[in-house]
Each structure stands twice: as structure tokens, then as C-alpha cells.
Structure 1
Amino acid sequence: MLNGKKIVLGVSGGIAAYKAAALTSKLVQAGAVVKVIMTDSAQNFVSPTTFQALSRQPVYTDTFDEQDSSQIQHIDVADWADLFLIAPATANVIGKLASGLADDMLSTTLLATEAPVYIAPAMNVHMYSHPAVLKNLKQLDAWGFRFIEPGEGYLACGYVGKGRLEEPETIVEVLRKEYQRPQPLKGKKVLITAGPTREQIDPVRYFTNPSTGKMGYALAKKAKQLGADVTLVSGQVALDPPVGVHVIQITTAQEMYEEVLKAYPDQDLVIKSAAVADYRPKITYDQKMKKKTGDYVVEMERTKDILMELGDRKEHQYLIGFAAETTDVEKYGREKLAKKNLDAIVINNVSEEGSGFGTDTNASLFITKKGEEMTYPLMSKDELAKNILMVASGEMESENL
């Protein structure tokens, strides 16, 4: 499965750099075309000549050493790659990538590439468990980077524990399996909405809801991994966008309505997981309202029903809605499925512990218009996203959508 794949191997400065030479050889034997980028520190362990001999390709060590004056080197290499692999990935290069730093050939190319990035960490066991390193790994995971976990055993520093670069044969096998994974949404355009909307009263006050956008962002990340071209229309959330996903930021229900309707005609799959305000203040004040004695009544008006509009305009799209309920959960979910001309609905009882707004988990009932029902027990939102998308892709295939 690696035959003909264009792989950029980033080698950073740890003792495990010697394994990167064997890894290069194994990748080439598997049929891949490998270009190597080395940091200055990596060259203290292995020479560029070694990698050039093993890969039979140029080895890049300096951002400003332009080998072809007609191209910008780090951009050209970034665009060339089908896959980017960092092995070994030291704490330093992981920190750079998580912070968006670009001060050498490897880090500048990493920031420029749109290829999937695989990170194979290698470092001292205490470094690997340091809060800063763990925070950086978590950040990269949230962006959609993929990891080849280090092994446990005797380390070059003398410690025994987790931090040893995985063996070259295992890394190659991981990459083989990744390419063997089906991508049922490849070539499909997917539109997802996420997060809350804010409806302003005056410059310092607004109505909103507790949605954090975690479910929608999990769906966007997973849809991208399954091969889709993903657009995410998002309210104001404290989440980083998944790598490779086109994000449109909005604030109000009206803004979300306009952006979703603009993108809708070209989409194949639409999942509306955002928590959109049903009402907004009828009057929005330009200046802060001063506190007065007595009660204050805010007159509200209906916002546009985005999901209803999508159902009415549906042509070839497969449309999934979400229903966040606290009572008669299944009843209201089924009514919404029929009333809004949906193909499927995800019904959540947000009053259940571990489910709903702000959690990392969810328990749902997934119903299609064909009458199929899937009950998903409490699981991570990433896992639920995968289940939803796999069912949707199967339905779309059966209906030739």
C-alpha cells in the first residue's frame, strides 16, 4: 500500500536518529519515495549522506539552501508530500509544532504541508511524561495529527520506561494499515455546524447556551480522516479547528443561517449539530443599558429555523439533525425527524450524567428515516462521531448519493 507514496521523513535530534536510517531503508523497500529533512541536532547523530544513499533522494538541512532557484524549497517539499512522518520526534520538535514555530527547514515545512502528519515520539521517560510535553501532544491530537506511540524498554539514557522510538518495521506496518483503512467519504463534501450562537442585547450582554462545540468538532475531525472535504460553520468556542478543515466563524443565528445556506447546494452530507438560538431580542441596543430599579422584560422574536429550511431545500444531500432533549426524548426526536424532512437524527438526553453539553462523552439514539435505530451507550464524542459518519456513508452509498 506504500508503493509510489511520496513520504517526507523529518529526523530530529535524538539518539534514536540512527533508527531513522533503517526506517528510510524499510520505506524505500516498501516502494515509497522518501525525502528526508534533518534538523541541525539530528546531524550530530547521523550524517545527511547516509540518508541520501538510502533514499536516493535529496536530503534537506537548511531552509535557505535553495537547491532549485525556481522554487521555494520548503513549500515545494510540503506540497510534494502524500504523507509526513517525524521519527524520531523529540520534545523540542513537538513543542515547536504545537506552538506554531518555524525556525528551520523541518518546522517551516511542517507548517506548510497539508499532508497527514504522523508523529513518532522518542525521548527520556520523564520528558515524555512532563506536563508541557503532554499538553503539546494533546494540542496536536486536537488538530488531527496522528501518533505512533513510543515503546517501553531500556532507553539510551539508562532509564527503563516509555519513550523508545518504535521499531522501523512496526512504523512501516502502521503506515501500511493506515493506507488500507477505507475512506468511505473520499470525494464527498461535508458541511457541519457546531457550537452555540450568541444573540446580543447590548454591547455587553447576550443570550446563549452551554454548547461547547465538542461534538461538531469531533465530527469534522473524523469526517476529514474518512476522506471528506469538510466545511465547519462554528459559533464562538474555545476549541482549535481540526487540521485540513475549512472553518467559517459566526456569532449569531442569522449569520449561521446565511453561511449554511450559501454552502448547502454543493454539499453531499450535512450534519447540523450546532445549538442555535430559537429566539433573539427584538431590539438590540447600541449602548450599554443602565441598571434600573424593578424588573426588566426583553421582548424576543423567532430566529430562522435553519434545519427546517435545509429540509425544505434538500435535493441530493443527506441531512442529519441533532435533538437535545430532557423529557420525552425519543418522542420529540422522532417528531423532529419527520417534521424537518431529515434523513437521520441523533437524539441526546442532555440531562443524563456524562452526556450533552460540555462533556467529552455522549450517549445517543440514532434513527434514520428508513426506521433503522442504533442505540449508542456512553462513549467518547470521537467514537460517536465515527459511528454516525459510518452509518451515514453506508446510507448514502445505498441511495447513490
Structure 2
Amino acid sequence: MLTGKRILLIIGGGIAAFKSQILIRKFQEVGATVTPVLTRAGAEFVTPLSLSGLSGQKTHTELFSLTDEVEMGHIELSRSADLIVVAPATADLMAKMAQGMANDLASTLLLATDTAVLAAPAMNVRMWQHPATQRNVAQLRADGVKMVGPGDGAMACGEFGPGRMAEPDEIVAAAAGMLGAGPLAGKRIIVTSGPTHEPIDPVRYIANRSSGAQGTAIARALAALGAHVVFVTGPADVAPPEGVEVVRVQTAQQMSDAVDAALPAEAAVFAAAVADWRVASQSDRKLKKTRDGMPKLEFAENPDILARVAQMATGRPGLVVGFAAETNDVIENATAKRARKGCDWIVANDVSAATGIMGGTENAVVLISDDGAESWPRMGKDAVARQLADRIAAALA
């Protein structure tokens, strides 16, 4: 996947630095050459000897190295790579990157390069959520730095939440996507996400509790595998992922039109929670209370985007994936929905109140296809997305 590609791996100082050794192996398995750069803080967790032994390359640690700097080694290092990966990207290292500091080898390399940079943040949840870190992350994204992770989970400090470094496989997939070498490179995939808002009057609307988190994670995972993702999103609670083509909509009809405009595509994943009905005649003025009681609302059926695309006679994507959010009889209801809609796969889940899935960070899904119903264990929504993206890549191969 990355045969002949040269990766410059900058390793920051955090407990996640131990994963850098696994990451080197993962890059090598797909054909890449890795040159490690170890920060002084990173050397508290892993050694130059172990990194050199794994990579087969010299591990660079010092900016003022006489032997390296005779030929301006930091400039050569920064510009000879096809991609610079910062993993773990600590809060301190990202602050240096955002502010353009150059007081050690790692920060100097990052300032002296025009090579693409992929950062894998890793830190305590409170450090990640701190306004200063979020400002730095926003600045780095504006500067063109791509991010992979962080994920949610238990941390070495005993806390739980966002801040875990992305897993090595996920970092490799993101790197491959940036270099146009992922298994979905050249594939166009439509992903719908979030709720739709169906207006009643200028201030009220019909909606549901979908946060858009799962659809966003799926779009991110597909993009990491190299796909060109057209991300059609309703008014979700979460921001769209990086590296995708974003189309923002409000209503079901707008989403339907956006999907039509995005076709043709090799695959389409309909993760949006589209409202089944809309008010037939929305008021152009705010509805007022009157002595006559509640206003009477007449409803009309919204377009069934999944069924329409799945049943296209011409121009149908090769793989159409629907979602079924159920509160009872999950497998039975989702299997019936797959047959009714005509899609290839249905990803079903139980969103009853007791599960905490609707609006939460985890999901437990059943993949329904011609092969039957396959139950996946409960896991984070990012993990569900990665597993689904891998299945899609295998199906499209």
C-alpha cells in the first residue's frame, strides 16, 4: 500500500510513545521506510536503540549534531520524506507547531518543511479539552496539518474520555489516505449523516435526537482509507471530519437533492436519521396560541432516499448501505427493512433509552447482509466506523 514511501516519524513524550514501535512495524508491513525522530521527552519512554533496531534507520535526536548538521541535516530530513507523522503529538509539541517554535530537532523539522504532516494527538482528557489545546488544534488544522484521533477510552492516568492516541493501524490508514495509496483510493463514496429538521414555522421544526457522531466517524474512516467522501450532513451536533467534501443540508428534500447531485458513486452509506414526515404546508409566520386550541398540522411523507437510490435502474452505486435504529426486535425489523428498501447491507442498532447509544459515544450494531445477521460487540463509534470501512473496502475490492 505504501511501497517505496518514506515516512519521517516524530515521537513526542507521552506514555503512548510505546505505540510508536508498533507503528514502525505497521508501516514496514505495507512497504514504507520509517526514519525516527525522538524528542528528549520521548526518550523517557522509548530508546533510540530500540527505534533504530526496529526501523533499520538511524534515530535522530539532536538539533545540534555535528555529523548531521555538516550537510544541514534537519533541512534534508524534513524535505526528503513523503509524509511527516507526529505520533504521539503531545500538547507541548502541538503548541510548538502552532506557534512556529523551533527550539529542538522535532519542532525545527516541522517548521522547515513543506511536506504534508499527519498528527496523532495523545494526552490527558483535560489537557485535550483545555481551550489552549483546542486553539492550537484549530490553528494547525487551518495550517493544513491533518489529524487522526484522538479516540475515547481509559487512560494511563485513570481518567476516561478523548485523548487516547489513535491505534497504529488507524494511523497507517490515514497516512495511506493522505498519500493516495489507501485501499479506497479513487473510490467515490457518499455518506449521509445527522438528523434533518423539517420546519413547522420560522422558529419550530420536527427533528430527532441523532447527534451525527456515527455518520461522521464513518466518513472519517472511509477518508482515512483513501476514499473521496461526499459527506451530506444535516444539522448535527458534531463537526464534519477533515478531508471530505461537505454538503450541509437542513431538510430531507435537500438531503435527497444533495445525494442526487453527488452521484455517481461506487458506494453510498445512508447513516442519516431522516425524518419520515414533514409538515405539508409550513407557516411563513410563527404560529400563535389561540382560544381555538392547538393548531392542526397536516403531514406529508418525505422522500425515501435509501429506497430510491437502492432501487435505481441505472446509476445505482455498487454497494448501498442503510441504517436501522430500532427500539425492539432489532434483527427482525432491520431484516425486513433491508428487503423493503432493496439495499445491500443494513447496519442495525438498538437505540432504546436503556442502551444510552442515541447521542452516546458507543454503539452495538448488527450487520445484516446476504450472509445473515452478524452481531458486533459494543465498542466506540470510531471503532464501529473503522470496522465498517474495512468491510466496505473489502467489498469494493
TM-based fold match above 0.5:
yes
Q: Unpaired runs of 5+ in structure 2?
A: 14-37, 159-167
Over 3 Å counting, the alpha-carbon distance change for 1:284 and 1:51 in structure 2 is farther
Deviations 1:329-353 (A, max 9, x none): 3333222212222111112221163
Q: CA deviation at 1:355?
A: 5.3
Counterpart code for 2:285: Q
The answer to whether residue 92 in structure 2 is matched with residue 116 in structure 1 is: no
Over 3 Å counting, the alpha-carbon distance change for 1:111 and 1:96 in structure 2 is farther
Distance in 2 (CA, whole Å) between partners of 1:220 and 1:110 is 32
* Secondary structure of 2:311 counterpart: helix
Q: CA deviation at 1:261?
A: 1.1
Q: CA deviation at 1:251?
A: 1.1
Distance in 2 (CA, whole Å) between partners of 1:31 and 1:223 is 32
Q: CA deviation at 1:232?
A: 1.3
Counterpart code for 1:240: A
Q: CA deviation at 1:277?
A: 0.9
Over 3 Å counting, the alpha-carbon distance change for 1:17 and 1:319 in structure 2 is closer
The answer to whether residue 91 in structure 2 is matched with residue 91 in structure 1 is: yes
- Structure 1 segment 1-400 matched on structure 2, within 5 A: 3-5=4-6, 7=8, 15-16=40-41, 26=52, 30=56, 46-47=63-64, 52-53=69-70, 56=73, 58=75, 82-86=82-86, 89=89, 91-95=91-95, 101=98, 115-119=117-121, 129=124, 131-133=126-128, 135=130, 136=133, 144-145=147-148, 178=172, 183-265=182-264, 267-293=265-291, 294-313=293-312, 314-351=315-352, 353-354=354-355, 356-368=357-369, 370-397=370-397
- Counterpart contact for 1:198–1:208, Cα < 8 Å: yes
- TM-score with structure 2 length normalisation? 0.68
Distance in 2 (CA, whole Å) between partners of 1:96 and 1:58 is 18
Q: CA deviation at 1:188?
A: 2.1
Q: CA deviation at 1:104?
A: 5.7
Deviations 1:273-305 (A, max 9, x none): 100011111122233222223122211111111
Range 315-324 or range 371-380, more displaced: 371-380
Q: CA deviation at 1:91?
A: 2.8
Over 3 Å counting, the alpha-carbon distance change for 1:351 and 1:178 in structure 2 is same
- Counterpart contact for 2:218–2:386, Cα < 8 Å: yes
Distance in 2 (CA, whole Å) between partners of 1:8 and 1:134 is 25
Q: CA deviation at 1:57?
A: 5.7
Q: CA deviation at 1:226?
A: 2.4
Over 3 Å counting, the alpha-carbon distance change for 1:286 and 1:384 in structure 2 is same
- Counterpart contact for 1:280–1:303, Cα < 8 Å: yes
Counterpart code for 1:279: W
- TM-score with structure 1 length normalisation? 0.67
Distance in 1 (CA, whole Å) between partners of 2:66 and 2:379 is 49
Counterpart code for 1:192: V
Distance in 1 (CA, whole Å) between partners of 2:341 and 2:381 is 25
Give the aligned partner of residue 74 of structure 1. Answer: none
Q: CA deviation at 1:310?
A: 0.5
Distance in 2 (CA, whole Å) between partners of 1:356 and 1:322 is 14
- Counterpart contact for 1:363–1:379, Cα < 8 Å: yes
User: Identity percentage over the alignment?
Assistant: 28
Counterpart code for 1:286: D
Counterpart code for 1:47: F
Q: CA RMSD in A?
A: 4.7
Counterpart code for 1:264: L
* Secondary structure of 1:220 counterpart: helix
Deviations 1:49-76 (A, max 9, x none): 7764588462699xxxxxxxxxxxxxxx
Q: CA deviation at 1:195?
A: 0.5
Distance in 2 (CA, whole Å) between partners of 1:323 and 1:371 is 17
Q: CA deviation at 1:113?
A: 7.1
Over 3 Å counting, the alpha-carbon distance change for 1:205 and 1:342 in structure 2 is same
Distance in 2 (CA, whole Å) between partners of 1:274 and 1:177 is 26
Distance in 1 (CA, whole Å) between partners of 2:100 and 2:266 is 40
Distance in 2 (CA, whole Å) between partners of 1:87 and 1:285 is 53
* Secondary structure of 1:377 counterpart: coil
Over 3 Å counting, the alpha-carbon distance change for 1:55 and 1:209 in structure 2 is farther
Give the aligned partner of residue 69 of structure 1. Answer: none
Q: CA deviation at 1:231?
A: 2.0
Q: Unpaired runs of 5+ in structure 1?
A: 37-41, 62-76, 122-127, 154-160, 163-173
Distance in 1 (CA, whole Å) between partners of 2:366 and 2:295 is 40
Q: CA deviation at 1:258?
A: 0.9
Counterpart code for 2:241: P
Over 3 Å counting, the alpha-carbon distance change for 1:116 and 1:317 in structure 2 is farther
Give the aligned partner of residue 65 of structure 1. Answer: none
Equivalences, count: 336
* Secondary structure of 2:395 counterpart: helix
Distance in 2 (CA, whole Å) between partners of 1:10 and 1:246 is 31
- Counterpart contact for 2:84–2:117, Cα < 8 Å: yes
* Secondary structure of 1:367 counterpart: strand
Give the aligned partner of residue 72 of structure 1. Answer: none
* Secondary structure of 1:315 counterpart: coil
